């Protein structure tokens, strides 16, 4: 019996190619993993009537660890987002996205080494929305007027932004514990507390309270989200672990990926008290799907995070080292990286890049 059983969800679009590449690389690494494949995505609607079959959620529950490709949410299937539904049903309340500059990846900065810790369950992603013109929207608008809370134009659609003490304590504690465990010095909380006093204001207040528990061990500061964006692009080296409410964390993830070479190299994980699902930051990229053009690095680095989670620290380190070498050598890289670096060397296919990575792995 294999040491670990992992649920593999290939997903849609380039997910089919990136997860296949990841699987080849992890097998070449010699990790003792048995894969149990489960399906999710637009392609499941015809056969199952849903993009997220219960059997897929069950498979993650059974194995506790999953790695997935991006999943497209088709319209009209009752899901706003399959990814959000998966996170909610498995209580994956932490989204973890390390962003590190890598030589040869085409980033504009060499000194980025940050960890994004994004709250995954609430904020504007809670999915509590009222359609413009609906009876519920009208009642809510009336309620706000009656409460003296403010005037909302009658032709408005409304999304609710809940931020709770419970979820904020949980995410900020996770950020501090992560900092301690990984020898990091500082946690920065990002918010817009000066404008949204009862949601982001609560986030900041709770973050400050939790920070006191770590005084003398991990530094703490905070940034207003707009200033944060400017500070990040001026000097990313001033940040270390950064904790966000859901929406700002989502935006900051892509912004940060852009600093180091783009979505092709940005890994991530969704982690809860019981289960963990690893996945690249990027989406299904339908424009390049099925053409062997995609960059599987983000999925492969997500697998390195998964190996860390499984306690296979040496294998994870070896995998990261092989990726670093392939980029530093710069001979076999995919088209997104060629564009990011402005190189006129020929672009490798996803398969050629994967072959090269396995070749380098075998030399380590």
For 18, phi then psi, to 5°, come to: -70, -40
Active-site pick, 250, 308, 318, 336: 250
Which of 18, 188 has the CB closer to ligand ATP?
18
Q: How far is the CB of 281 from ligand ATP (least distance, A)?
A: 7
For residue 358, count CB atoms less than 10 angstroms from its CB and return exposed for 0-12, middle for 13-18, buried for 19 or more. Answer: middle
226 as an active site residue: the answer is yes
Among candidate residues 12, 125, 222, 240, the one labeled active-site is: 125
Report how far residue 85's alpha carbon sits from residue 77's, in angstroms, rounded to the nearest whole number. 12
Judged by CB, which is closer to ligand ATP: 179, or 340?
340
Nearest CB to ligand ATP, comparing residues 63 and 270:
270
Q: Based on CB atoms, which residue is closest to ligand ATP, 4 or 282?
A: 282
Q: Which is nearer to ligand ATP, 152 or 347 (CB)?
A: 347
How far does Cα 118 stand from its chain's mean position? 8
**Cα–Cα distance measured from residue 268 to residue 66, given in angstroms and rounded to the nearest whole number:** 12
In the Cβ-directed half-sphere of 240, how many Cα atoms lie within 13 Å?
17
For 36, phi and psi rounded to 5 degrees? -115, 110
Strands 158-159 and 129-130: antiparallel
Closest residue to ligand ATP, based on beta-carbon distance: 283
106, 225, 318, 333 from 101: Cα distances, Å: 9, 22, 17, 16
Annotated active-site residue 192? The verdict is yes
Active site includes 214?
Answer: no
Half-sphere exposure of 280 (CA within 13 A, CB side): 33
Contact residues: ligand ATP, CB under 6 A: 14, 18, 70, 72, 263-264, 282-288, 294-295, 298, 336
Instruction: Give the residue with the Cβ less far from ligand ATP, 245 or 264.
Output: 264
- Of residues 138, 168, 140, 178, the one with CA closest to residue 155: 138
Task: Choose the catalytic residue: 12, 68, 123, 192.
Answer: 192
Rounded least distance, CB 254 to ligand ATP, Å: 8
In the complex, minimum distance from the CB of residue 102 to ligand ATP, in angstroms, rounded to a whole number? 15
With b meaning 16 or more CB within 10 Å and e meaning fewer, what string describes 256-293? bbbbbbbbbbbbbbbbbeebbbbbbbbbbbeebbeebb
Minimum CB distance to ligand ATP, residue 17 (Å): 9
Q: Smallest gap, in angstroms, from Cβ of residue 132 to ligand ATP?
A: 24
Active site residues: 125, 192, 226, 250
């Amino acid at each position: 019996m294999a040491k670990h059983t992992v649920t593999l969800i290939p997903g849609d679009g380039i997910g089919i190619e990136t997860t296949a590449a990841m699987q080849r690389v992890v097998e070449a690494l010699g990790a003792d993993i048995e894969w149990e494949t489960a399906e999710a995505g637009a392609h499941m609607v015809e056969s199952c009537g849903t993009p997220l079959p219960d059997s897929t959620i069950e498979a993650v529950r059974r194995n506790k660890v999953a790695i997935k490709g991006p999943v497209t949410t088709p319209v009209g299937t009752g899901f706003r987002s399959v990814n959000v539904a998966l996170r909610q049903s498995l209580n994956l309340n932490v989204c973890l996205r390390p962003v590190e500059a890598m030589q040869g990846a085409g980033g504009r900065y060499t000194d980025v080494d940050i960890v994004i810790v994004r709250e995954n369950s609430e904020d504007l992603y809670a999915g509590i929305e009222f359609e413009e013109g609906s009876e519920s929207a009208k009642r809510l608008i009336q309620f706000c007027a009656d409460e003296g809370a403010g005037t909302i134009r009658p032709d408005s659609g409304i999304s609710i932004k809940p931020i709770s003490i419970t979820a904020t304590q949980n995410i900020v504690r996770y950020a501090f514990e992560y900092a301690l465990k990984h020898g990091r010095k500082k946690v920065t909380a990002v918010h817009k507390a000066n404008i949204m006093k009862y949601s982001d204001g609560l986030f900041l207040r709770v973050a400050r309270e939790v920070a006191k528990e770590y005084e003398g061990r991990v530094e703490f500061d905070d940034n207003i989200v707009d200033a944060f964006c400017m500070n990040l692009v001026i000097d990313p080296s001033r940040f270390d672990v950064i904790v966000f409410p859901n929406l700002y964390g989502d935006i900051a993830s892509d912004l940060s990926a852009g600093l180091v070479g783009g979505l092709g190299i940005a890994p991530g994980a969704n982690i809860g008290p019981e289960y963990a699902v690893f996945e690249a930051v990027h989406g299904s990229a339908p424009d390049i799907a099925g053409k062997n053009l995609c960059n599987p690095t983000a999925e492969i680095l997500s697998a390195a995070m998964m190996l860390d989670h499984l306690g296979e620290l040496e294998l994870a380190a070896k995998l990261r080292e092989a990726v670093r070498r392939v980029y530093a050598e710069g001979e076999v890289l995919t088209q997104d990286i060629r564009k990011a670096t402005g190189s006129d060397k020929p672009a490798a296919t996803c398969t050629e890049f994967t072959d090269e990575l396995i070749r380098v792995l075998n030399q380590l």
